[in-house]
C-alpha cells in the first residue's frame, strides 16, 4: 500500500528528527541505562515483559523532549534523566494497557506482550512501570514536576476511557475526537515538555510555552498517525495498515469521511465500525471513500494547524541549535507521512 497523502512543505522539514537525536544523544544514553536498571526485579517476568516492549525500538521521542526542553531552558542538574525515564515508563505502561484494551496482536512490528505473556501480565507490568515512574519522579524531588506528571497520568487514563465511550460511534464530532487525543496522546507530550523548564526554574511563561509546544506537537503527531493508519505502509507504522479500521476506532479520517459521505457511505461506516462486520475488500473501500472526500489530506492539513501552533509557542526562545531541532521535530512529525 503506497502513500496517498500529498505534502507541500517538504522544504521546511530538511532537518528531520536527526538534530534532536544528535543533541540529546549523550543524555539519552543515560536515560536508556536508567530504564534498563529500573525494570530489574526478582520477579523475572517483570523485566522480561517490560524489556520485550522497551527494547523493541520505539523512537523514545517523549523522553527526548524532556531532555531537550530542559537543555533549551539552560538546566544544569541531574534530574532531567530520571524525569525523562519516568516519561518513557508512563508511555510504555499505557502501551501495555492499550494493547489489552484494544486486543492488539502486534506492537512495533513484534508480537504484543499480551500475546506472549497474557493480558494479566501486561496489565500488571504496566502498573509496575507506573509505580517505578512515580518513584523516580519522587527521587528528583520537584513537587511541581510531580504534580504535572501525576496530573498527566490521570488525564491520559481519562482520555482512554473517553475513547472507550466514543468507540464505534460514527457520529463522533471532530471536537469529541480532539478531546480524546488531547487526553490519550497530547497530554503526555505536553507534560514531557513542561517538566524541562520546571526543573530548570524557568518562568511561568516559559513553562507555558514548552507545554503548548508539546501539546500541539502531540495533537499533530496523533493526527498524522491516524492518517498513516489508512494511507501509510506497514514499515512506517510498525503495525499493519488498517489496524484502526479493524478495531473499529473512530479517528479523524473516519469522522470527516462519515460526515462528508452520502447515506449509502454512512451505512458502510456503520456496518464496518459500529457493528464490526468487516468483509474482504472493506479496507480498500474505506480508503477509496477517504480519497473521494479528501479525508486523509485534510487530516494532515488539520495537523499542520497544530504544528504551526507548536512552532509559534517556542517563538519566545532566542535562536539556538536546540530550538531549531525542536522546530525540525515538528516538521518531521507532520512529514512522516511521506
Contact positions vs a second copy (CB under 8 A): 169, 171-176, 203-205, 208-209, 211-212, 215-216, 255-256, 258-260, 298, 302, 305, 308-309, 312-313, 315-316
Shortest CB 229 distance to a second copy, Å: 19
Residue 32 or 251: the one with the smaller Cβ distance to a second copy is: 251
| 212/215 Cα distance (integer angstroms) | 5
The answer to whether the beta carbons of residues 288 and 242 sit under 8 Å apart is no
Cβ atoms of residues 250 and 273 within 8 Å: yes
Q: Which of 269, 293, 266 is nearest to 282 (CA)?
A: 269
Helix/strand/coil for 107 = strand
DSSP H/E element including 207: helix 204-231
When the beta carbons of 106 and 316 are compared against a second copy, the nearer one is 316
Q: Specify the residue, 155 or 313, whose C-beta has the smaller distance to a second copy.
A: 313
To the nearest whole angstrom, how small is the minimum distance from the Cβ of residue 252 to a second copy? 10
State the nearest-atom distance from the C-beta of 170 to a second copy, in Å: 8
**Least distance between a second copy and beta carbon 119 (Å):** 32
Tell the burial category of 1 from Cβ atoms under 10 Å away from its Cβ (0-12, 13-18, 19+).
middle
Residue showing cell 515483559: 49
Residue 106: phi, psi to the nearest 5?
Answer: -125, 155
Q: Pick between residue 256 and residue 286 the one whose CB is nearest to a second copy.
A: 256
| CA–CA distance, 131 with 147 (Å, rounded to integer) | 15
Nearer to a second copy, 100 or 250 (CB): 250
Q: How far is the CB of 263 from a second copy (least distance, A)?
A: 8
Amino acid at each position: 500500500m503506497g502513500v496517498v497523502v500529498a505534502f507541500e512543505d517538504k522544504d521546511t522539514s530538511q532537518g528531520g528528527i536527526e538534530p534532536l537525536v544528535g543533541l540529546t544523544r549523550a543524555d539519552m544514553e543515560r536515560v536508556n541505562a536508567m530504564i534498563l536498571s529500573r525494570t530489574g526485579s526478582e520477579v523475572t517476568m517483570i523485566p522480561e515483559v517490560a524489556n520485550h516492549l522497551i527494547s523493541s525500538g520505539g523512537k523514545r521521542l517523549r523522553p527526548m523532549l524532556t531532555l531537550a526542553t530542559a537543555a533549551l531552558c539552560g538546566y544544569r542538574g541531574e534530574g532531567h534523566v530520571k524525569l525523562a525515564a519516568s516519561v518513557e515508563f508512563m508511555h510504555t505502561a499505557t502501551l501495555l494497557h492499550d494493547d489489552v484494551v484494544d486486543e492488539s496482536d502486534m506492537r512495533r512490528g513484534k508480537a504484543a506482550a499480551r500475546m506472549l505473556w497474557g493480558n494479566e501480565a501486561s496489565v500488571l507490568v504496566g502498573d509496575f512501570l507506573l509505580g517505578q515512574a512515580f518513584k523516580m519522579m519522587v527521587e528528583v524531588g520537584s513537587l511541581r514536576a510531580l504534580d504535572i506528571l501525576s496530573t498527566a497520568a490521570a488525564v491520559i487514563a481519562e482520555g482512554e476511557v473517553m475513547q472507550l465511550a466514543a468507540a464505534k460511534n460514527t457520529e463522533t464530532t471532530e471536537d469529541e475526537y480532539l478531546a480524546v487525543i488531547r487526553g490519550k496522546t497530547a497530554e503526555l507530550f505536553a507534560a514531557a515538555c513542561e517538566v524541562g523548564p520546571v526543573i530548570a526554574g524557568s518562568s511561568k511563561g516559559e513553562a507555558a510555552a514548552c507545554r503548548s509546544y508539546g501539546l500541539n506537537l502531540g495533537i499533530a503527531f496523533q493526527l498524522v498517525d491516524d492518517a498513516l493508519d489508512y494511507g501509510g505502509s506497514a514499515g512506517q507504522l510498525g503495525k499493519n495498515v488498517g489496524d484502526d479500521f479493524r478495531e473499529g476506532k473512530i479517528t479523524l479520517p473516519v469522522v470527516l469521511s462519515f460526515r462528508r459521505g452520502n447515506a449509502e457511505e454512512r451505512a458502510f461506516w456503520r456496518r464496518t465500525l459500529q457493528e464490526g462486520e468487516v468483509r474482504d475488500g472493506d479496507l480498500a473501500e474505506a480508503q477509496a471513500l477517504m480519497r473521494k472526500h479528501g479525508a486523509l489530506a485534510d487530516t494532515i492539513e488539520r495537523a499542520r494547524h497544530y504544528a504551526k501552533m507548536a512552532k509559534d509557542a517556542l517563538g519566545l526562545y532566542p535562536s539556538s541549535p536546540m530550538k531549531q531541532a525542536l522546530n525540525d521535530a515538528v516538521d518531521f512529525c507532520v512529514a512522516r507521512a511521506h
